Chains A and B, each alone.
Chain A
Amino acid sequence: MKVLTPRELPELFAALETPGAHMLAGGTDLLVRLRAAEREGRALPQALVRLDGVAVLRGIVREADGSLRLGAAATHAELLAHPLLRQELPELAAALCELGSPPIRNMGTLGGNICTASPAGDSLPPLMALGAEVELASLAGTRRMALSDFITGPGRTSLKPGEVLTAVIAPPARNFQVRHFEKVGRRGALAVAVVSLAALVRLERGRVAEARLAWGSVGPTVWRCPEAEAALMGQRLTLTALGRVGAIVRENVRPIDDIRASADYRRQVAGNLLLRLAVL
């Protein structure tokens, strides 16, 4: 495999024209998959195009409307070290804190976590709950779309050939009083989420005026439950109310069995995690 190291976006776009080229962000997922491909005798990309040299793809900027623009090639550790992240996006910070391990966070990038589009991607539930958008650029220009539209299935995105995920835009969410993320993994670090939940709840006079709930690892992509969100409207975050909504979640969720947990467990826990909102 050739390894290309562009420094600027035009160079990057040119590099992506190389036949058989594949983008290399942090490498924490891609290189593991290439290792498996090599072991199994499957074809490897002809060239890897590094994103870590393109400075414009990193960093956090606050935009005029208060949104945060997160560079897609920023590593998780870089984002976590930025004061704006913990301050403005505590649910995303909580998710990134538990992603992989310290060296994985030093290498892996937000854009990589998104484009891998794993059902268990740790950054995805909080970004979905926030209503984040992605910015995609290519020689043809730049476009923006909702993250929920960008990820189309496990491992599948709307990224076109020659296109690069350049940034993630998270709108402000300061008017949500409850901002919560919980990951259920099988151990304290280096764990793939078995179930995760990001919850943003806006209260008016103690009652739910808006609820955004997003679960990871219970479906092919991040799962939202409009029925549960609707059922929470007007409720106080009591055990009784949350228990009732948890039952709605369990009725609607369609998880699968895999090596980490059964569908039954995921269904049960997807509902249970809501109860935590009662004791925050």
Chain B
Amino acid sequence: MPRLSPPRADALSKATGAERYAFDVLPEGCLHAGAYRPGAALGVAHGRVRGVDASAALAVPGVLRVLTAADVPGPNLHGIMHKDQPVLCGEVIRHAGDPVALLLAETPEALRAGLAAMRADIEPLPGVFDPEAALKRGAPLVHQGRKDGNLLLRAVIEKGKAKAALKAAAVVVRGEFSTPVQEHAFLETQCGVAQMLPDGILHMTLSTQSPFRDRFEIGGALGLDPFKIRIRAPHLGGGFGGKDGATVQCLLGLAALNTGGKPVRMAWDREESILAGFKRHAVRLRCALGAEADGTLTVFDCRMLFDTGAYAHLGGEVMELSMEHASGPYRVPHVRVEGRCVYTNNPIAGAFRGFGVAQASPAFEGLMDELAAKLGLDPLALRRKNALTRGDENCSGVRLTGSTDLCACLDAVAGHPFWTGREDWRKSAPPFTRRGVGLAAVFNGMGYGRGLPDMAIAKVELTEAGEFLVYNAVADMGQGNASAFALLAAQELNQEAASVGLVMPDTERCHPSGSSSAGRSTYTFGNALVRACAALRHKLISRAAMPFLCDTLDGLELEPGRVVHRPTGRAMPLSVLARFLPHDDRICVAEFLMPVAQDISGSARGFMIGFPHLLFAYAAHLARIELDELTGRVRVCDYVCATDGGRVLTRQGFDQQAQGGAAQGIGFALFEDFRLDQGRTLTSDLTRYLIPTALDVPDTVSLAVDGCEDSGPHGLKGVGEVGLNGPAPAIASALRHCAGLRLRQLPFTPERLLKALSKARPAKARRSA
């Protein structure tokens, strides 16, 4: 069992059920709001709204109002990069989850009855559900009047001369890969509470990853002053990217404008969460990887096609990050990556942990295995030979000046008994079973990238009682950044952890610090906080000098609960010192801006913002699996991840990210089979959309490669995302090892595996020894 780290500050309150999430906020007299989304029931994903009939709904006792697009006071459009998504659709629905009305009711029961009584007249329009079809001439247009039709974004990365290098390469391996939509399936669905108070401020408590940006989304869509919106973000019941952007935000804002000042709650049920929430983009990739005969990579060429669904949301940005990672964590001199991101009438895609990278990793790692097989090289040795190290140029031509410890990750798994014993494992398979061990090397960029300042502003206060308060401005969706901040502050201020309190994100009390995303939370805000704490420490020592009658600061130190003057041994409790200081003087604020790559040798066209990145986390994963020949079922028996996240702040928090990411990645690889038919979601609830249970994932072992990222707080890098990128390629690699299968379409369902097995070894099942 791993050694114990100090428990997270939020752990006990959550374990005893005392923690209050946005889901749990239910003020006295609270009304209930719900969106009417007619597409799913009518089987229409693209249609003209001819009429909305609320008469039966309004006849339901307890239903108070039914609002439609005509009731939206502002431009009725939101979207992080492109304002293309209506709060309520008035003319057209573009996917099966688009809302056309918002109901307000006195009770949840009345709301449900009212929603069931709503009717809409939707004239079906020809829809487009395949991204390739969407690009064809004459394809139905998801948004009218766009110069590029259904093409949201096309971008190209070019470094060196890929075309010539492909011709010249001693060996080239090619493949077409596809990855599916993935549902976040956070346990707490999208939810929040809003109330317009008499002071004209719209108060909201939301389950959100981006409270500061939400104000502008809501204000922009509803024509409100964003600075008259106050948003609080308590602990989230999971986010993983799916609560980055407006989910309930604008609808709740609209509701609160129509309740006569009463509070109003909106909580999507699971079906609505799956119908209307953001998803991971489905992606198709066509790639070629070339190398010299000794395995030295020379060229990577790739085309990617992203289905962003009905609205842009973060489609372009996800694609950009995917492109930046397309050729893997390897030195490749010649690279060409072309990406296209396309509108369809499918559900809206957006951010999901591993933001585009999880879609690229099965392809680059699949080709590495293919190359190793073709050249007769050890797959791990091939990866190590080409692995990026500090000082190398990556595929975008960024010189990696930060910590780049992929080799150490590979070395950690190379010596692991699961790897060294992989042939014994394969040979020990019981009847009707294949056993294999697979490997993957992955990485994930950190932060927003160039063009969007990745900044955080931390505030720390000495309270009147002589304790400390950290104003956490980055939502904690469960990854534990809030607790990490308390710990960092305690270390910087030399205090007991218990004497550091936390304010959770509140746009009125905290400073804008960006979203909880991109593996940036602990790095960027942590850096700002370390600076703020250093300033406060200096200030407190300085202020103590006066009552101590010291004419220099030498010998003054901040200790737990007090300032001491070493030479004389005198001490002043912080509770006393605090009383000397006016409130403003007990506060320090500091900011941090993540460094970005300044010059790149490659060229990139079409990018909006967020390219390229300078800092990356790396990992090497091992999967030990069993494949049942009779059913095609896979069991992941053991899993190991070795992760380079710079210096480890708390081992427990680090391992939590590694194990949790691996489990979501295993779900992505094997279980989660998001199914659509003409834009309708068939996997419409958790009975049909299957995420792993405790019986489906192994005791994942997390190994830490203890490096140091000099720019990070205490040397750390963000490790929230990288873990998700490994399982799909590692499991694919294990399936190749155990049965020679070349799987390029995710997820690896029993059905696909059985079919692949019968092709690999036709006729009847054999009995392996």
Q: Bound state CA distance, A194 and B751, in angstroms?
A: 11
The answer to whether B690 touches A39, judged by C-beta atoms less than 8 angstroms apart, is no
Q: Would A38 and B112 count as touching, CB distance under 8 A?
A: yes
What is the bound-complex CA distance between A273 and B632, given in angstroms? 11
The closest CB in chain A to the CB of B751 belongs to A265
Given contacts A41-B117, A187-B695, contact A272 B671 (CB under 8 A): no
Instruction: List B686-705 residues whose CB lies under 8 Å from chain A.
Output: 687-688, 690, 692-696
B750 near A187: Cβ-Cβ < 8 Å:
no
Asked if B432 and A259 sit within 8 Å, CB to CB, the answer is no
Distance A118 CA – B696 CA, assembled complex (angstroms): 25
Q: Is B631 in the interface zone, CB < 8 Å from A?
A: yes
Q: Is B576 an interface residue (CB 8 A)?
A: no
Q: Mark B741-769, 1 if CB is under 8 A from A, else 0.
A: 00000000111001100100000110100
A63 to B749, CA, bound (A): 45
Give CA–CA (A268, B749) in the complex, Å: 15
* Interface presence of A82 (CB below 8 A): no
A239 to B271, CA, bound (A): 45
In angstroms, how far is the closest chain B Cβ from the Cβ of A262?
Answer: 6
- Given known pairs A265-B751, A269-B631, A275-B630, the reply for A39 and B271 (CB within 8 Å) is yes
- A180-206 contact mask (Cβ, 8 Å, vs B): 1 or 0: 000010111111101100000000000
Asked if A243 CB lies within 8 Å of chain B CBs, one says: yes
B26 on the A face (CB < 8 A) = no
A186, A189, A259, A276: which contacts B750 (Cβ < 8 A)? A186
CB-based contact B675/A259 at 8 Å: yes
* B629 neighbours in A (Cβ, 8 Å): 272
Question: Which of chain B's residues has its CB closest to A273's CB?
Answer: B630
Interchain CB contact (< 8 A) of B671 among A186, A261, A275, A276: A186
Task: List the B side residues contacting A65 at CB < 8 Å.
Answer: none
List, in ascending order, chain B residues with CB within 8 A of A64's CB. none
Confirm or deny: B116 has a beta carbon within 8 angstroms of a beta carbon on chain A.
Answer: yes
Type the 1/0 row for A212-242, where 1 means its CB is closer than 8 Å to any CB of B: 0000000000000000000000000001000
In the assembled complex, which residues on chain B have CB atoms less than 8 Å from the CB atom of A269?
630-632, 754
Report A-chain residues with C-beta under 8 Å of the C-beta of B113.
38
Give bound CA distance, A243 to B271, whole Å.
Answer: 43
CB contact between A259 and one of B431, B682, B695, B696 (< 8 Å): that residue: B682
Quick check: is A140 within 8 A (CB to CB) of the other chain? no
Tell me if B683 is interfacial: C-beta within 8 Å of chain A.
yes
Of all chain B residues, which has the CB nearest A38? B112
Shortest CB–CB separation between residue A58 and chain B, in angstroms? Answer: 27
A30-62: CB near B (< 8 Å → 1, else 0) gives 001000001111000000000000000000000
The smallest beta-carbon distance between B695 and chain A, in angstroms, is 3
Which of B595-634 touch A at CB < 8 Å? 629-633
Distance (whole angstroms) from the CB of A186 to the closest CB of chain B: 5
Q: Are B112 and A187 in contact, with the CB atoms below 8 A?
A: no
Docked CA distance A186–B688 (Å): 10
B41 within 8 A of partner (CB): yes
Contacts of B431 in A (CB 8 A): 278-279
A275 engages B696 (CB within 8 Å): no
Give A48 Cβ to nearest chain B Cβ, in Å: 16
B116 touches A189 (CB 8 A): no
Determine the chain A residues whose CB is within 8 A of the CB of B631 once the complex forms: 184, 195, 269, 272-273
Nearest A residue to B56 via CB reads A41
Which of A40, A190, A268 is close to B754, meaning CB atoms less than 8 Å apart?
Answer: A268
Contact between B690 and A191, CB atoms less than 8 A apart: yes
Q: Are the CB atoms of B764 and A243 closer together than 8 Å?
A: yes
User: How distant is the Cα of A47 from the Cα of B312 in the complex, in angstroms?
Assistant: 48
CB contacts (< 8 Å) of B112 on chain A: these are 38-39
Within 8 A of A (CB), among B316-342: none
Task: For B694, list chain A residues within 8 Å (CB).
Answer: 188-189
In the complex, which residues of chain B have a beta carbon less than 8 angstroms from the beta carbon of A195? 631
Interfacial residues of chain B within 42-69, with CB under 8 A of chain A in the complex? none
A32, A189, A239: the one contacting B693 at CB < 8 Å is A189
The docked-state distance in angstroms from the alpha carbon of A278 to that of B632 is: 18
In the bound complex, what is the Cα–Cα distance between A191 and B687 (angstroms)?
A: 8
Kindly state the separation between the CA atoms of A32 and B754 in the bound complex, as whole angstroms: 32
Which residues of chain A come closer than 8 Å to B632, judged between CB atoms? 265, 269
How far apart are B415's CB and chain A's nearest CB, in angstroms? 31
The CA-CA distance from A41 to B57 in the complex, in Å, is 11
User: Which chain B residue shows the least CB distance to A243?
Assistant: B764
Say which residue of A38, A192, A260, A276 sits within 8 Å of B630 (CB atoms).
A276
Report how far A167 CA is from B683 CA in the complex, Å: 35
What's the minimum C-beta distance from B197 to chain A, rounded to whole angstroms? 33
With a CB–CB cut-off of 8 A, which chain B residues contact A260?
Answer: 688
Q: Is the CB of B690 within 8 A of A186?
A: yes
| A262 interface neighbour in B688, B696, B751, Cβ under 8 Å | B751
A192 to B690, CA, bound (A): 10
User: Closest approach, in angstroms, between the C-beta of A103 and any C-beta of chain B?
Assistant: 12
Q: Do residues A272 and B695 form an inter-chain contact, with CB atoms below 8 A?
A: no
CA distance in complex: A259, B695 (Å):
22
Docked Cα-Cα span, A243 to B675, in Å, equals: 33
CB A116 to nearest CB in B, in angstroms, measures 14
Cβ–Cβ < 8 Å partners of A246 in chain B: 764
* Complex Cα–Cα for A188 and B41 (A): 31
Q: How far is the CB of B288 from chain A (nearest CB, A)?
A: 32
Known: A41-B117, A265-B754. A259 touches B633 (CB 8 A): no
Q: Which chain B positions have C-beta within 8 A of A38?
A: 112-113, 116
With a cutoff of 8 Å between Cβ atoms, the chain B residues found around residue A186 in the complex are 671, 690, 749-750
Residues on A with C-beta less than 8 A from B767 are 239, 278-279
Q: What is the CA–CA distance of A272 and B41 in the complex, to the nearest angstrom?
A: 38
| Residue from A101, A184, A188, A192 in contact with B696 in the complex, judged by beta carbons closer than 8 Å | A188
The residue of chain A having its C-beta at the shortest distance from the C-beta of B271 within the complex is A39
Chain B contacts of A187 at CB under 8 A? 671, 690, 692-693, 695-696
Cα of A248 to Cα of B683 in the assembled complex, Å: 33
Contact of A40 among B41, B432, B675, B758 (CB under 8 A): B41
Q: List 13 A-B contacts (CB under 8 A).
A: A32-B687, A38-B112, A39-B271, A41-B116, A184-B750, A186-B690, A186-B749, A187-B671, A259-B682, A272-B629, A272-B630, A272-B631, A275-B432
B positions within 8 Å CB-CB of A: 41, 112-113, 115-117, 271, 431-432, 629-633, 671, 675, 682-683, 687-688, 690, 692-696, 749-751, 754-755, 758, 764-765, 767
For the A-B complex with A186-B671, A189-B694 known, give 4 more contacts whose Cβ atoms are closer than 8 Å. A184-B633, A187-B696, A188-B696, A260-B688
Please list the 4 inter-chain residue pairs (A to B) with the smallest Cβ-Cβ separation, ordered nearest first.
A188-B695, A41-B116, A272-B630, A265-B751
Interface residues of A (CB under 8 A from B): 32, 38-41, 101, 184, 186-192, 194-195, 239, 243, 246, 259-262, 265, 268-269, 272-273, 275-276, 278-279
